[in-house]
Amino acid sequence: MATVGRVDASALADGVAGHGRARSRPERARRHDAGVTRPRAEVLCIAGLSLTTLYTLALIPVAPSLLGKDPVLLELLRGSTPAMVAGGAFARVGRASLVLALLAPVLTLMMADPLLWWAGRIWGPNVAGVIVGNRGRRGGRWIERANRWSERYGSWAVIFSYVLPVPSALIYAGAGWTGMRLRRFLVLDLIGVALWIAINVGLGYLVGQSAVDVAKAIGRYSLYVSIGLVVIIVAVSSRRRARDAPVG
């Protein structure tokens, strides 16, 4: 799943609202893509990104326990890097199917990608600033690189988005605003996701029992790990809200 960390769907709605209000009503009502009006497309895209964000957050508490018990199921639910590595390791010691470990995370990893492509298509480069958030010069460099690579390399940027030094979400949105067709984007995204899965599952398979032991250790302390993750998420969210709140 494409992350920056995560795309803040509420911030996306606020960030593009000003851009949308700058257009006249007839222009905003123009049909967008497959017969969908632009306002409806905006609502559907934001709703989809909101649901994927909530889904990701909801699974955070259960991830540590599944990692040591059934990493392939965790791959199916979250598609996280630790889950893929553990899935490969469990396959190496005969406790999971290697085929399932390779196939399980595909749809989950691709879940938000078409929505990010769509966001780029709807709002253009304006969406890039919302995706990176308040990250100062680093965010500016990410946007500059995503613009340059999306224009220059297009297909290759999508395929290798997981290993490029910019958030993959920016690459997917860039594919949308540079005019890449959805069908082509999905094929390229599938190739890139397959490569990323193969790297992580293959790594776990090579490591074998040692990775299984680490996953089991995390599973034994899953309750404490889950509580710690929730505390960190709440603290980070509170800090961001305090930082973004207007002074006075």
**Is residue 84 a contact partner of residue 201, using CB atoms and an 8 Å limit?**
yes
In a domain, 161, yes or no: yes
Say if 136 falls within a structural domain: yes
Query: What is the rounded distance in angstroms from the CA atom of residue 216 to the CA atom of residue 149?
Result: 40
pLDDT recorded at residue 228: 66
Q: In this structure, is residue 229 part of a structural domain?
A: yes
- Residue 25 confidence (pLDDT): 39
SS3 state at 36: strand
| pLDDT confidence of residue 125 | 79
Please, what is the angle between helix 222-244 and helix 209-220, to 10°? 70
- What confidence score (pLDDT) does residue 106 get? 95
**What six digits make up the tokens of 105?**
């995370």
Flag whether 2 is in a domain.
no
pLDDT number for residue 185: 95
pLDDT attached to residue 62: 80
Q: Supply the range of the domain harboring residue 60.
A: 9-244
Tell me whether residue 59 is in a domain: yes
In a domain, 88, yes or no: yes
Of 51, 110, 109, the closest CA to residue 81 belongs to 109
User: What pLDDT, on the 0 to 100 scale, is given for residue 244?
Assistant: 52
Integer distance in angstroms from the first to the last C-alpha of the chain?
Answer: 38
Instruction: With beta carbons less than 8 A apart as the criterion, state whether 39 and 16 touch.
Output: no
Is 4 domain-assigned? no
Q: Is 121 exposed, middle or buried (0-12, 13-18, 19+ CB in 10 A)?
A: buried
Count of structural domains within the chain: 1
Q: What is the torsional sign of CA 182, 17, 133, 85?
A: negative
Residue 97 confidence (pLDDT): 94
For residue 3, the model assigns a pLDDT of 52
pLDDT 10s per residue in the chain (248 long)? 655 444 555 555 555 545 444 444 344 444 556 566 778 888 888 899 899 989 988 887 788 778 888 899 999 998 888 899 999 999 999 989 999 999 999 999 999 999 999 998 888 877 777 776 655 666 667 677 777 777 777 789 899 989 888 788 888 988 888 889 999 999 999 999 999 999 999 999 988 878 787 776 666 655 555 566 666 666 666 665 555 555 44
In a domain, 234, yes or no: yes
